[in-house]
């Protein structure tokens, strides 16, 4: 047992040294373009988790919800009640498009959301801007992908993180991004009749 | 244009009806076993996002960190400062095992973490328990998988959600879980020399 523990300690020391060497090469600080996509759960929750990381670090941040449903009113209420000084929260959509059934209004909402997003991203005091479910607005053609990409390339301050969530991220957005995670659906309880529940989905 | 909008409204109305029909079959409320695994980023952030959803819904919840590094001290401080009445927070590990280089201590920490976890899960007032990075402790053999699964099966109250995070989730855990998301690494900026940054990683 003692020998086993010593062998373990040696192996771990080697791992620690290797890791330290690798991490020493990671020196750049840079505002990232981050994409959460895929059919699995967790795209908005993980983005929301990063917004709370910013709040915990006293970094100013902002959320623009393009389509209601990703981050629900509970989260919005919580941020408004406790952290309104650090995090601005804008909800532009009035619900998923198959609920509103009004494309003209949806397009106007998306355009207004994008104007708000540009203003927030341009403000160098704001260190992270979450564009929640913007991929849906891009996919439906409510926003112009080239314009969004050109803006991020030209006008995002170098230390600002921008997080874009939603299924079906455009190929060109994935190309342009620094950090892309696909939330892959392995198993989902909706399939066995469980409904959306507080704490889990909203 | 008008015709296009009308066609869109008809299409969306059909979608809304189909969705309503499907959602009407989802009636069960049930405490879920939720697993976030995979090599991508977002496993702990998404779990942390759900903890904040619980807090936003005034649901009691708890976090046990098996390995430090998933959810960092910033988040812990934030919860302790604002939401200690709703969310208990226990950090059991002292860092990744290749940093501590002490297997005996790591095993004792993991065992203590699991005792704490069992106590929290048994408390029916606590509606969500996050076991952050427990998959690492299971993979290193610091905890016994069969014991963890048997406990969840036999003693988890029916309305309690338990969230287990970490790479390399065991096959039997995925089998036993209700909701499993794999965070798939598409692109990560560490590879191009960017270091871990506040708001994003911690």
CA distance B164 to chain A (A): 13
How crowded is the C-beta side of B159, counted as CA atoms within 13 Å?
A: 12
Whether residue B10 is predicted with pLDDT greater than 90 in this model: the reply is no
Per-residue pLDDT band at A16 (split at 50, 70, 90): confident
C-beta atoms of A48 and B44 within 8 A: no
Radius of gyration of chain A measured on its C-alpha atoms:
20
- Residue B72 backbone class (left: φ over 0; alpha: ψ -120 to 50; beta: rest): beta
Q: How far is residue B70's CA from residue B131's CA, in Å, rounded to a whole number?
A: 10
CA distance A87 to chain B (A): 13
Question: What is the pLDDT, as a whole number, of residue A148?
Answer: 98
- Between A150 and B200, name the one with better pLDDT: A150
Question: What is the pLDDT, as a whole number, of residue A3?
Answer: 64
CA distance A115 to chain B (A): 23
Question: What is the pLDDT, as a whole number, of residue B113?
Answer: 94
Query: CB contact, 8 Å: B102 with chain A?
Result: yes
Q: Which of residues 17-76 of A touch B (CB under 8 A)?
A: 19, 23, 25-30, 32, 34-36, 38, 40-42, 44-50, 52-57, 59, 61, 72, 74-75
Whether residue B71 is predicted with pLDDT greater than 70 in this model: the reply is no
Question: What is the pLDDT, as a whole number, of residue B4?
Answer: 73
Question: What is the pLDDT, as a whole number, of residue B2?
Answer: 61
Question: What is the pLDDT, as a whole number, of residue B101?
Answer: 67
Q: Which CATH architecture has domain B38-192?
A: 3-Layer(aba) Sandwich (3.40)
Per-residue pLDDT band at A182 (split at 50, 70, 90): very high
Whether residue A98 is predicted with pLDDT greater than 60 in this model: the reply is no
Q: How far is CA B109 from CA B30, B56, B102, B105, in A?
A: 31, 31, 11, 6
Percent of chain B past pLDDT 70, that is, above it, reads: 89
Query: CB contact, 8 Å: B181 with chain A?
Result: yes
pLDDT 10s digits, B75-106: 888 999 999 999 999 988 766 555 666 788 88
Residue B161 bridge partners (DSSP): B128
pLDDT 10s digits, A46-72: 999 999 999 999 999 999 999 865 556
Q: Nearest to residue B121, comparing CAs of B43, B187, B32, B191?
A: B32
Q: How far is residue A39's CA from residue B184's CA, in Å, rounded to a whole number?
A: 11
Residue B50 dihedral angles phi and psi, to the nearest 5°:
-70, -35
Percent of chain B past pLDDT 90, that is, above it, reads: 62
Question: What is the pLDDT, as a whole number, of residue B178?
Answer: 95
Domain boundaries, chain A: 49-188
CA distance A110 to chain B (A): 16
pLDDT 10s digits, B18-67: 777 776 766 678 899 999 999 999 999 999 999 999 999 999 999 999 98
Residue at token pair 């963890």: B148
- Between A149 and B16, name the one with better pLDDT: A149
Question: What is the pLDDT, as a whole number, of residue A191?
Answer: 66
pLDDT 10s digits, B23-32: 676 667 889 9
Whether residue A75 is predicted with pLDDT greater than 70 in this model: the reply is yes
How crowded is the C-beta side of B11, counted as CA atoms within 13 Å?
A: 10
Question: What is the pLDDT, as a whole number, of residue A52?
Answer: 93
Q: Nearest to residue A202, comparing CAs of A77, A58, A114, A86?
A: A77
Fold that domain A49-188 belongs to in CATH: Rossmann fold (3.40.50)
Question: What is the pLDDT, as a whole number, of residue A119?
Answer: 98
Q: How far is residue B191's CA from residue B182's CA, in Å, rounded to a whole number?
A: 20
Best A180, A199, A201, A202 member to test B by mutation, with max B CBs in 10 Å, is A199
Q: What is the mean pLDDT of residues A23-48?
A: 88
Residue B179 bridge partners (DSSP): B34
Note the helical H segments in B2-143: 2-24, 43-56, 73-82, 97-100, 103-122, 134-139
Question: What is the pLDDT, as a whole number, of residue B92?
Answer: 83
Query: CB contact, 8 Å: A126 with chain B?
Result: no
Best A49, A173, A178 member to test B by mutation, with max B CBs in 10 Å, is A49
Q: So what's the ipTM on this one?
A: 0.79
Question: What is the pLDDT, as a whole number, of residue A172?
Answer: 96
Question: What is the pLDDT, as a whole number, of residue B192?
Answer: 67
Question: What is the pLDDT, as a whole number, of residue B134?
Answer: 96
Q: What is the mean pLDDT of residues A158-170?
A: 96
- Chain B hits for A127, CB-CB cut-off 8 Å, are 199
Question: What is the pLDDT, as a whole number, of residue B179?
Answer: 95
Question: What is the pLDDT, as a whole number, of residue B191?
Answer: 66
C-beta atoms of A179 and B202 within 8 A: no
- Between A76 and B156, name the one with better pLDDT: B156
- Chain B hits for A192, CB-CB cut-off 8 Å, are 28, 178
Whether residue A90 is predicted with pLDDT greater than 60 in this model: the reply is yes
| Strand order, beta sheet including B179-187 | A87-91, A60-65, A126-132, A161-165, A33-37, A179-187, B179-187, B33-37, B161-165, B128-132, B61-65, B87-91
Whether residue B70 is predicted with pLDDT greater than 70 in this model: the reply is no
- Between A188 and B117, name the one with better pLDDT: B117
- Taking a C-beta distance cutoff of 8 angstroms, is the pair A46, A73 a contact? no
**Please, what's the b/e burial string for A125-163 (b: 16 or more CB within 10 A of its CB; e: otherwise)?**
ebbbbbbbbbbbbbeeebbebeebbebbeeebeeebbbb
pLDDT 10s digits, B150-201: 999 999 999 999 999 999 999 999 999 999 999 999 988 776 678 888 888 8
């Amino acid at each position: 047992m003692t020998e086993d523990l010593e062998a373990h300690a040696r192996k771990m020391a080697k791992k620690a040294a290797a890791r330290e060497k690798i991490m020493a090469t990671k020196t750049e600080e840079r505002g990232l373009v981050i994409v959460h996509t895929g059919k699995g759960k967790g795209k908005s929750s993980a983005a929301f988790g990063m917004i709370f990381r910013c709040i915990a670090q006293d970094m100013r941040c902002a959320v623009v919800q393009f389509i209601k449903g990703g981050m629900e009113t509970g989260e919005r209420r919580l941020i408004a009640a406790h952290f309104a000084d650090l995090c601005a929260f804008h909800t532009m959509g009035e619900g998923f498009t198959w609920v509103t059934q009004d494309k003209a209004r949806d397009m106007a909402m998306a355009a207004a959301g994008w104007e708000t997003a540009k203003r927030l991203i341009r403000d160098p005091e704001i260190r992270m801007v979450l564009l929640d479910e913007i991929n849906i607005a891009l996919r439906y053609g409510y926003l112009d992908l080239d314009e969004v990409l050109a803006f991020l390339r030209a006008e995002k301050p170098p230390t600002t993180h921008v997080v874009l969530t939603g299924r079906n991220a455009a190929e060109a957005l994935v190309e342009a991004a620094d950090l892309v995670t696909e939330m892959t659906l392995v198993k989902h309880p909706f399939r066995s009749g469980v409904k959306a529940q507080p704490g889990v989905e909203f």
